[in-house]
Structure formats: C-alpha cells, structure tokens
Amino acid sequence: MGRPTPCLPADPRTPRAASRGQAPYHPRLPARPAGALVRLAEALPLPLYVVETDGRVRFSSRMARALHPQGLPEVVKRWLENPQACGAPLETGPIPLPMVWQRLQPAGLSCALVVARPAPLLSADGLGSHPWQIALETGRFGFLEFDGSTQRICATSHTLSHLLGLPVTQLSLPYEAWLERLHPDDRPLVAPLLSDPQGWLQGTASLEYRVRHANGHWEWVEQRSLLVAATPEAPRILGLCQLVTSRKYAEIELIRREQQFRTLAENTSDIIARYDLNLRCLYINRSVAHYLALRREDHLGKRAGEKGWPKKVAERFEQECRALVATGQPRQYEHEIELNDRRYVFETRLFPEYDRSGMLTSILSIDREVTETRLALTLLAEENRVMEMITGNQSLAETLEQVCQMIRSQLPHSRVAVLLANEATLQLTLIAQAGLSTALEGALRVLPLSTEDGVGAAAANRQTVVVEDVAASPLWQARQTLAAAEGVCSSWAVPVMTSERGLLGVVALFHGERLTPGASENRLLFRSNHLCAIAIQHDLQQRQLYALATLDGMTGVFNRRHFFETAEREIQRVRRNGMPACAMMMDLDHFKAVNDNFGHACGDLVLRAFADECRRQLRATDLIGRLGGEEFAVLLPDTGLEAAREVAERLRQRVERQPLSTPRGPLHYTVSAGVSALMPGDTSLETLLHRTDGLLYEAKRRGRNQVVADPPPRLR
C-alpha cells in the first residue's frame, strides 16, 4: 500500500465557489493562440476537437474524424453555441454512438477542448460496447495547470478524482503535496518541471510517471506539458494528463517477456532465427557460432544460400518456407549437412508469425541438432539387424560385414576390417571389410599376432591400439608405402575377446586424417566389438553343435545318421543330372585282435589313422561315414565303377604299407572293401549299400585285404 494522502491546505476560493454552484476558480491569463491546444490534441490518441468561443471547430484529431467523418453532429453544434449549457456534459443518443460530450476550457487559452466519451450503454445490437467505446472508456484524462507564482497545481472539474481518486470538490494541490504523491523514483523526473519550467520545456514535452492513488496503489500518468506563460515571476504550465497504467503494465510485461525470450533464445543450444517474407535473416541467436564461422551480425539481412549453407540445404529451407507462406501452417523436416568435415543432422521447425491484424509478417525458425539421437537410432536399428542375422544363423562373414557397415554408418569416412584370430597359427585372417581398397584388403588378408604390427599388436597385447599418426609410428614402419598410397593417416585396432579374455579377433579402423576416438567413438567401438564377439562365439557354438550332431566323435567323419541323410540327397542330385555314382563299404581286418593285443587305445588310434588316410585319398566332394565299430562307407558322386575301384585299391595299398607306431611296436593293419555302382533299379541308398555290403563280405571270404567290385556283366 502507498502512503496515506497528506492533509492538503485547501484553496480558500475553491470551497466558496463550489458551494454556490459557481464555476471553479481559474486565474485569468492573457489569451494565447489555439496552436497550443492543437498540438496537444494532435499528439493524443483520443477523439478531441479544438473549438473557438463561438463554437467553430478549429481542429479535430484522427480518432475524432474516424468517429464523425461528416463533422460534429447538429445537436453538439447547438450545445456548443450555448455557453451556459457547455458548463455541463452533453449526453446524446446513437449519433452514431451514444456519447457524452464535455467541454474543457484551460485557463489562458482562447480555445476550448471538446472531448467525446462513450456513454455507458449497450450498442445497438445489444451484444456489448462498440470497439471505440471499449478503447475510450479506459482513457481517463484531465487538465492540470502548474502555477509557478502560487506553487500550486489547479485542476479542471473531476480531474483529480479521475486521476487520483480524490474528492470531486478538490481542485488544487500544493507542489509539495503533488511531489509527495509521486513515486520516489519518478520525483527527480518531475521536479525540474516545477522548479525550472522555462529551461526544461522546449515546445510540447511529454512525461510518464507514477502517482499514488487515494486507495494506495500506483497509477501511471502520461502528461503532455505546454508552457503557456513564460514570465520568470509567474511561469504557468498546462498539462493534459491521461492514465496509462494498463498500457505501462502491458509494456513492462512485454519487456519482461522479451527479456525472458532473449534469455531462453540466447542460452539454448538450438539455433533460433527469424526471417522476413523475403527469407532474409532478421535475428539469429549465438548458438549458430558453434556450426558456422560466419559472425553472428553477418547473418542479418542475408538469405540462407548467402550464409555459407550448402546449396541443397538452402534450397530445401526456402522450399519449406514458401510452403509455410502458402498454407500458413508450421513446417517440420530433417536434413543433413556437412560442416568442418563432420556430418550433422538437424531437425528444423518453422512457425508463422502474425501481426495484430492477422497478417503474416515473419517466419520463426528453430534448428535442433539431433545428430546423436539419429545416429543412436540408426545404430540401434543396425544392431537389431546384426542380432537377427546371428539368430537366423547367417554366415559369419555376412554377419561381420554387416557390423562393418554399421560402423561406417556412424563414421562414414572410416574404413573397417574384422579379422579372426587363430592362436594355433598365431595369425589373424581377414573375414569381413567395408571400404577397403584392393591393395589394403590384400595387405590385411593374413597378419601375424605381432607386437610390432599396428593391427596385430592389439591381438598380441589384448588391448586397444590407437595410432594417431601412422607416418610417425613404428607399428606401421613396414607398411609406410602402403599407408601413404592409400591415404591412411591413423588407425584404431580393438581386440575381440570372450568374457574370459579369450582372443577371438580384431576390429580395425583406418582413417584418412589424424583422429583419436572420443566418447561417442569409444561407445561405438565397444558396441561393435560386443556384437563381433557374440557373432564369432555363436558361430563357434554352431560349428560345435553341428559337429556333435553330424560327425563321429572318434574319427571326425560323418556319423551314421548324417551320412545316410547327406548321401541320400547326393544320390537324388546325380540322378537328376544323369551322372554316375559309386559306393564303397570298408571294414578293418581283424580289428578285434588289435584291441585284444594292443589295447583299446591303440584300436582308437587305428580308427583315427584310417579316417585321416581316407580324407587324404578322397575328394572334398566325396562323402565318408563311420557306420559303426570298424565299418566305414563312402559315396563317390560323379564317379564310374572303374575309377571307384582304383580309389579303393589305392586306399587299401596305403593302409597296408604304412604301419602305425605304438608303445608296443609297429602295428600293421589292413582293410577289405566292396565297390558297387548305382544302378537304374536302385530305389534308395539302402539298396545300393546292401549290394555293396555283399561285395565287402565277398572280399573277406576271399581272404581279406582286397577290393571286390561289381563284375562287368552286372552293369549291362
């Protein structure tokens, strides 16, 4: 609450005049030209008329001309012609609006000021006040006369009541009381007007200050002052005052919001800019300096293509802006941009900005960098695809190649390779790559697990090796020529290991510039490395499961079930192609005696040695299986009977001539075999093997260690 209203000494002339119903007292001043009132009326946004004493209109304000374009209504003209009637306000009907007319006669001026106020009535349609009424009802105003000779402020009727809530009968205040009512911060502004008006005023002057209302709150007053008497002894100032509290609060709120907006705009990481309808920049915040070298002030007045944006990005921006202008709807889109050898992804949102009349005036642009978000989403999608390939039992090479592509989606300028480790041979073998040239791929095809190699050192030491400058690193000394030719400036090598730190391989990246991995790159390497480990271990497990399901654990050849499944499919193939095929049934001679005389360990050794010899003598396309005990079967696709017999005989001779070394001395063993060709009447693999098995027993019956094949007459 403000301070209480001070007890003011009343002008002794005022109460008597008011009690007799006479006009308020005003000191008489020499008549002055009407230009003073004209300047005041012209400066105020109110419906004002400057009239002569005989009722002639000297000047009408812009708002007055808008309300009454044909001039003053006749009823108002007749009212002005009667000086006695002008002492009271005139209430009129709808002409065109219900109005209250009031004549104000400032002291010392030859003209009067006539004001039209809206009457407190509904408009003709009954829906409420006309917009002019709403505007004018808030415009409380009045005249104040500052008398330097008496050091008092005199007011026209109701002025102090309208402005300060004082009694209607109070028409004057001492200067001291007036200053006491002013806000402490505004007193230095108003004091020179009272102490030295001649030196302070130059023509018509305007002031805005706060005055304490009778209710205790502060009212903002706009005062337009005019020096009407310039004598040093008795300076007089005429002030037309209007309450502008609502406007000032609105301005303060506007300033606060503007400051709030600028605080937010200047401290956000988003690029916020405003463009006119010609797409020239009006404002841009300082976040743009993170991406473009152009100074902030140099953006103003320029179009997107003139600010260093790539052509495609500028064209897309202008296209979206034109679409916004055409539809009036906000726009949103994403675009990629290469800046400073780095790729950025921005989400751009465009918003229309309108003035009070609803006209589109500008476009607000908000650019948010979403590079990390988009890369994370892309990486997640790529990871999901890799996991789908792993669970779908895709080949290891295809899966790891997808990992390489995933890395390149995050680091487009990198070249990626994945190498598998073989600790038995102490070598790394290239299995997948993305972006490698033929020369670089050839150099990485087989690498040693060596601490002196940029890639091999990661596997040998089981730790990440980052070579920032290949030209100066001893790890690349042997490949300096290759690195220079291929533009390799830096390399990163990360070992792929199991959770027990078993070595699986290496992920290697090569860059055309000197780079070291940052936080985001390290996260990418970790996730890629993890996927590679999962893929490699899954492949190893699948191979182990396949071996357990299809191979004989003792000899490593197909087990009985898998041999029959695979051989049956192969027979169907050769039948479709019209090609020959033969089967061999083999049995180790006197194998029970081997177990009895040399032990089962030596018996197992004999089985493995025979299986190894079969693999050496047979083709990769030939199928060999252990049917049980010491009995083996072979299917030779695309092979005639004579060729099959020669293969069987060669194998028999190799076994006979190569005894095995055992703790108990050399061990000699032999093998008997039966060979049969696929006949047109053979309905299945079992039919073929049954006939071949009979030939095997014929070989044993003849004394073992020999090969018995189908006789030629059987082929006709």
User: How much is the pLDDT for 8?
Assistant: 33
User: How much is the pLDDT for 536?
Assistant: 93
CA distance linking residue 605 with residue 584, whole number of Å: 22
User: How much is the pLDDT for 254?
Assistant: 87
Closest by alpha carbon to 387, among 526, 544, 534, 543? Answer: 534
User: How much is the pLDDT for 305?
Assistant: 86
Residues 6+ apart with CB under 8 A from 139: 45, 46, 242, 243
User: How much is the pLDDT for 200?
Assistant: 64
| Sheet (strand 707-709) strand order | 623-628, 631-637, 581-588, 671-677, 707-709
Q: Which of 369, 401, 486, 630 is catalytic?
A: 630
Does 169 or 117 have the greater pLDDT score? 169
User: How much is the pLDDT for 478?
Assistant: 87
Does residue 32 carry a pLDDT above 60? Answer: no
User: How much is the pLDDT for 430?
Assistant: 95
Does residue 23 carry a pLDDT above 80? Answer: no
User: How much is the pLDDT for 351?
Assistant: 95
Residues 82-99 have pLDDT tens digits of 766 666 667 666 555 566
Instruction: Please name each of the domains of the chain with its CATH number.
Output: 13-242 (3.30.450.20), 268-369 (3.30.450.20), 375-547 (3.30.450.40), 551-715 (3.30.70.270)
User: How much is the pLDDT for 449?
Assistant: 87
630 is annotated as an active-site residue:
yes
Q: Tokens for 386, please give them.
A: 């890799």
> HSE of 227 in the Cβ direction (CA atoms, 13 Å)?
18
Closest by alpha carbon to 211, among 174, 191, 173, 181? Answer: 181
Closest by alpha carbon to 506, among 552, 558, 453? Answer: 453
Does residue 20 carry a pLDDT above 90? Answer: no
Does 68 or 694 have the greater pLDDT score? 694
**What DSSP letter does each residue of 511-532 carry, written as one string?**
ESS-----HHHHHHHHHHHHHH
Residues 286-338 have pLDDT tens digits of 888 888 878 888 889 999 888 878 889 999 999 999 999 999 999 999 988 88
User: How much is the pLDDT for 598?
Assistant: 87
Residues 561-610 have pLDDT tens digits of 999 999 999 999 999 999 999 999 999 999 999 988 888 889 999 999 99
Does 508 or 452 have the greater pLDDT score? 508
What's this model's pTM, rounded to 2 decimal places? 0.56
CA distance linking residue 672 with residue 651, whole number of Å: 10
Does residue 626 carry a pLDDT above 90? Answer: yes
Asked, as a colleague might, if the bond just before 96 is cis with ω within 30 of 0, I would say: yes
Amino acid at 487: G
Confidence of residue 712 (pLDDT cuts 50, 70, 90): low
Average pLDDT value for residue range 190-206: 73
Does 463 or 146 have the greater pLDDT score? 463
Average pLDDT value for residue range 506-531: 91
Does residue 80 carry a pLDDT above 60? Answer: yes
Please give the angle made by the CA atoms of 539, 545 and 549, to the nearest 5 degrees.
145
Write the burial class of residue 425 (CB in 10 Å: 0-12 exposed, 13-18 middle, 19+ buried). Answer: exposed
Helix (H, G, I), strand (E, B) or coil at 639: coil
**What DSSP letter does each residue of 646-699 carry, written as one string?**
HHHHHHHHHHHH-PEEETTEEE---EEEEEEEPPTT--SHHHHHHHHHHHHHHH
CA distance linking residue 243 with residue 259, whole number of Å: 26
Confidence of residue 79 (pLDDT cuts 50, 70, 90): confident
**Contact in structure between 238 and 226 (CB atoms under 8 Å):** yes
User: How much is the pLDDT for 310?
Assistant: 85
Cα-based distances in Å from 106 to 25, 50, 705:
11, 11, 145
Least confident of 27-31, 177-181, 371-375: 27-31
Does residue 716 carry a pLDDT above 60? Answer: no
Q: Where are the alpha helices (DSSP H) in 282-334?
A: 296-299, 311-327
Does residue 440 carry a pLDDT above 60? Answer: yes
What average pLDDT is seen over the chain?
Answer: 83
Residues 371-392 have pLDDT tens digits of 888 888 888 888 899 999 988 8
